[in-house]
Amino acid sequence: MTTINIGFSAQTWEEYHALITKRHAETLTPEEHKQLIQMSDRLEQLNVTRIQALIQLATFRNQPLTDLMQTLGINPHPDIVDYV
């Protein structure tokens, strides 16, 4: 379950969202752009690890993945997806 709960700290999420806001405003510096790409890459890696752990747990429980996610309170259909 530790792998399923892995993610950014609250502070890192704040930094990430601040950079996305600056990107939308087109005010990112080149260094900030590089930082946003690095953070996005890390987030993608964490999500891959997380979904792999969820798939393993669903298989172990012989349960559909979406049912498991619902049981764990994980939204399988996020309303907002923001890509870099």
Q: CA of 58: how far to CAs of 52, 55, 67, 79, in Å?
A: 10, 5, 9, 23
Half-sphere exposure of 59 (CA within 13 A, CB side): 6
Predicted TM-score (pTM) above 0.85? no
CA end-to-end distance (rounded Å), the chain: 28
- Checking if the pLDDT of 47 tops 60, the result is yes
User: What residue type is assigned to position 53 of the chain?
Assistant: A
Residues 16-38: b if buried by 16+ CB within 10 A, e if exposed: beebbeeeeeeebeeeeeeebee
| Total count of residues recorded for the chain | 84
pLDDT class of 77 with cuts at 50, 70, 90: low
